[in-house]
Structure 1
Amino acid sequence: MSQINTKLLERFSNDFAQLLETKYDYNVVVKVGNQNFNLHSLVLYQRSSFFRKELSTATKKNNIIEITLIDTSVEAFKVLIKYIYTGTIAFEEAEPSSIFDLLVPSSKLGFQDNNNFKTLQTFCTDILAKHPNLVFDSDDFSSVQENALITLLKRDDLQIEESKIWDKIIQWGKNDENFLALKTTLDKCIPLIRYFQIPARDIGIKVKPYHKILGSNLWDDIITKIMVPDVSVSSAILPARKKIPVQLPVREAHFVNPSSVINDEHFAEISSVIVAHRYMIGSRDGFTREAFHRLCDNVPGTVVVTKVNNTNEILGGYNPLVWNKQGKYFATTDSFIFSLKTQNLPDSILSRIINTRSAIGCYSDFGPILGGAFYVHNDKKIWLYQHSDSIYEKRLRSDNYSLLIDEFEVFQVLKN
């Protein structure tokens, strides 16, 4: 595919990402758990056979179609709906257990490019097979869907001791001491445990208390094999899971620049961070202190970007902490401000904090304050820049000045 076509597709993806964010002219409300998603029927109809069927039979209330999606977590749906709108997946935005939960709902939603999405499903299970603690040790493991759990248990390369798998499966299925109920709950999981690969001591301590759910034949065969290892038994003996070096699989990253201010080269310039999600756009959300704190407070790790009127300057800064309205400065050694290279400015400048005790200012009467050197102080599009050698190591511009800005964006970021 030519570079021009690739850029065009990226822009289309970016446009649809903004449509998803702004919810402009939405006509569908999808209820997932306790959260509502305001969406667009044309996108859903074209991209998902599940939604196409739902939309064809749904009735409108006040020109809005309501669809309830069950057996899907909110976090998983956030990832999937972004895929529907943009064709991209951001694993960084999903909790580890939500990546696991993608396996079932992704099939249910019936994506038009389903063959490509199977690659995603394989990627998910590859990660989780090699890093099973992401799921098995998560706080919400008990809410993992059965079909997704079975998919993982079938893996020969699941990198976890069989006795721990048994412990976790009992934890997942156990709601009381009723063995009949537990047997019913675990009916599809029980055959996938590799009992003959569990040490005899763990069989006696961990499996024996629940041996009734295995059935008499399987339990007898397990005991027989422990006592006489070379004897033949009628139960299927699954092979030991393969122990392999743990290494994350490689995937091609499809990068979509979500900014209307900075280009792909600028993203590369800010080499210590990766933009993950845009939280605020001044021209959309307003250039007010209230809008900034409402949308950006308590979001860890953010980049602020501004485009200065008439000068073609792009100025910004990085806050590794969170914004709030506590009325004080916070210390950090990791914040910095920057000026990005543009047509009229030959070089980019990255200036790190020196006065670390006053790196990040958080006040209700102000927008973001970066070391007192770069901040917004009212509800107009006026930003103040004032350099001090005791605050930042490098000067971004030749003079201290109040700057009129054309645009203001805030992104959450993830460190490399």
Structure 2
Amino acid sequence: MTFKFFDKLSQDFSELINDKKEYNVIIEVDRERNKKFFTAHSVVLRHRSPYFDKELENATASENHIKTIVEPSISAQIFEVILKYIYGGMINIENTDIRTIYELMVSANELELEELSVKLESYLIESKASWLRTHFSLVYHSIFDSNEFNGLKKFYNDIIAKHPNLVFESGDFTSLQETALVSILKRDDLQVEETKIWDYVIKWGISQNPTLPTNSEEWSNENFMTLKMTLQHCLPLIHYFHIPGKDIWKNIKPYEKILEKQLWDDMILHSISPNEPINSLVLPARIISSPESSSRIISAPNCSLTPNLPSRVVSTPNLTSTLNLTSTPNLTSTLDLPSNAYPRSGILSMTFSTIINKEHVAELSSWIDRKSTTYSLSDITYEFQLILRGSRDGFHPKTFWNMCHGYAGTIVVARVVGTDEIVGGYNPIIWDKNSIGRMETKDSFIFSLKNGKIQNSILSRVKNDRLALHYHNDKNIYGPYFGDCEFIMKSEVSDFTQDEQCSCFSFRKFYEKSIKTNGKFSIVDYEVFLIIKK
């Protein structure tokens, strides 16, 4: 007979975490002010994680025979949970917000803790499918950087097959990883016309080669060969023989040189004589369902893949609190978008904002669409969904980064202390709290809005996209930062309302014009909105 005492074993090993006598590894996690050091034991790390086994093999020991491993991309909060799992084999996620669980899954995968990563992936699909849908952009981009997360990849590709504009019509479509695009193109149930698929693929391929001439008529043979090599894994997945003849001449002929000659000849022959035999592989027509089945497709503005809901969503306490790491994951999930997956912001409500009104929304919407005239209130093309309000959520710069992380296509508006001025900026790309440095985009702009004594609004578009935005490394001081301090929210005391460090300097280096008289200021309040296409 065998007696098993796993609970006691787990408890005893967990207590080793706090043992400062025999440790021989220091793990440094997080960045700057949040930096934290954990002690551990190499024998435990080596046997629990192939990743740590390799890191320890390459690490140099100090005079005290202690090795140090640095993991700046993992937060202290996440690593503490991971360390408890490594030593004790259990994690408690009761009252843990869903975004943290997601980040825990990603970190576990990076550290090659497959058991934990797979279990969390299964948990999210089975229990948090709604959150996964509404945080499409945040999750979808990151999972295709890895060879793992096959369950999540299938989950999202099933949604994209029904609602392809979530990807194809998004502003950051061209930043999609090749592996993600290929996995989408392999779907025979992709609900989009083949001509449009071709156009999207060409658009993606050109964007990967920014040195190509803007006008394809000016391309050299070398230019076409560059595009062909970029799209070598995508081109075989186009269902060419289901593209109408008129579209072959209009859409495909300009790029004939990236196709094999036999394929091009067969396409022409098939368009003229559909019953003639051809030599090229003929892929079947994609299965496109009736219009009713796609009536709930959500379109996106020129920004992110799809709207994310605020990160303040939390898990319900009475759900699973301790993960059992022995069960086999069931990756089955319901894939139809629920009616409340993309909640309306109530734009017609007079309380949607404490800073801007419906006339401002009309003006901002027209600027996003680059219209020469302002939309009427009945023709506004976007809804503004509130992500953050300083007076509700706090004025610490890090609050901005935590709550806006993962969102793209957002507008920041701020009311200046002592004046009627409302200043702000539009960022079409993703706010990423983990990124540092210059961010490029051709579609951002900064502005001031007419209000009270301010008679005219000012629109200032980016003119040098090399520094459209700056994601500063010190996110305890710096919030949104456009151009060279041409609109910046900053506070040395971690409160935008206190020390007059916000500014809108008129350097005009990266934006067309100044949106405010020179000088530093504090704000009364500020808001961040996600812009959602109606």
Q: TM-score, length-normalised on structure 1? A: 0.46
Higher relative contact order (CA 8 A, sep 6+): 2
Identify, as 1 or 2, the structure richer in strand: 1
